[in-house]
Amino acid sequence: MKLSNFSTHRLLDRGFGLLEVVVASGILMIVIGSSVTLSRMAIKNSVISLERVQAYNLAQEGMEKMRQIRDSNWIDNNSSTQWNDQLVSKDETIVLDNKNFQRVITISDVSDSELSSYLESQGITQVSDSIKKISVRVSWQEYDLDWNVEIISYLSDWRPRF
């Protein structure tokens, strides 16, 4: 009787069978595959975030160039120079870290209706040539997708006339 108990116990204690190895391998492959996918997504998102910051800084630089042109026009000691002379729309390609960024600066007139609620609150009844809308859009491609950042500001001739 002891011999039959020993052989039954021995059959149950043989180790992993083929089915257990296949199931364990499948679970391991799913865990490793998920980790690799998660890592790739994290790297992709960090690249996009870095490029978005670079594009935003390029857009800010473009806006600062427009402000600098306006301010330089004020201080050139020439009475015939207007504040908005040399403010022109511009389209340029900027290469930064081997990545092409397309910066488009658009300058347009402002209509009365575009800023009406703000202007009315400031006591201004009519928009003249003293306000320009500056739009700076930076676009680039990454991972076969088009990305862009746009900032808009309004520049005016706020210099006091003495």
**Number of separate domains in the chain:** 1
In a domain, 74, yes or no: yes
Who wins on pLDDT, 97 or 2? Answer: 97
In a domain, 40, yes or no: yes
How high is the pLDDT of residue 48?
A: 92
2-16, 66-80, 136-150: least confidently modelled range: 2-16
In a domain, 161, yes or no: no
Mean confidence (pLDDT) of the chain: 81
Residue 141: pLDDT band by 50, 70, 90 thresholds? very high
The pLDDT tens digits of the residues spanning 97-126 come to 889 999 999 988 877 666 666 666 766 666
pLDDT over 90 at 147, yes or no: yes
Residue 2: pLDDT band by 50, 70, 90 thresholds? low
In a domain, 129, yes or no: yes
How high is the pLDDT of residue 41?
A: 92
How high is the pLDDT of residue 74?
A: 67
Who wins on pLDDT, 153 or 112? Answer: 153
In a domain, 113, yes or no: yes
Structural domain boundaries enclosing 45: 2-156
How high is the pLDDT of residue 150?
A: 96
The pLDDT tens digits of the residues spanning 24-70 come to 999 999 999 999 999 999 999 999 999 999 999 999 999 998 888 88
In a domain, 162, yes or no: no
pLDDT over 80 at 138, yes or no: yes
Closest CA to 142 of 104, 106, 90, 97: 97
Q: pTM here? A: 0.69
pLDDT over 70 at 20, yes or no: yes
